[in-house]
Amino acid sequence: MIERMAASNATGLVARFSKRVGRYVNHDDVLVRFVSLWVVVPSVFTVSWVFSYLFHP
């Protein structure tokens, strides 16, 4: 029997956000996938850059 991961049943804010982003990143249409990756990757990079700069001495 295959067990489901507990994260797939989560109802928190992060779970809802990741499910919504995953719907676009794994979309059937190639154009939607392409655009969503070009939005998601630079956004994650920018957010991580800003937070790392905040912790820079």
Q: What is the pLDDT of residue 10?
A: 59
Q: Map out the domains of the chain as residue ranges.
A: 15-54
Q: Confidence band (pLDDT; 50, 70, 90) for 45?
A: very high
Name the residue with tokens 């998601």: 40
* pLDDT of 6 over the 60 cut: no
Averaged pLDDT of the chain: 82
Q: Quickly tell me which residue has 């630079």 as its tokens.
A: 42
Both structure tokens of 1? 């029997």
- Name the residue type at position 28: D
Residue whose structure tokens are 């190639």: 30
- What average pLDDT score do residues 27-49 get? 91
- Over range 43-56, report the average pLDDT: 91
Per-residue pLDDT at 43: 93
Alpha carbons 47 and 44: distance in angstroms, whole number:
5
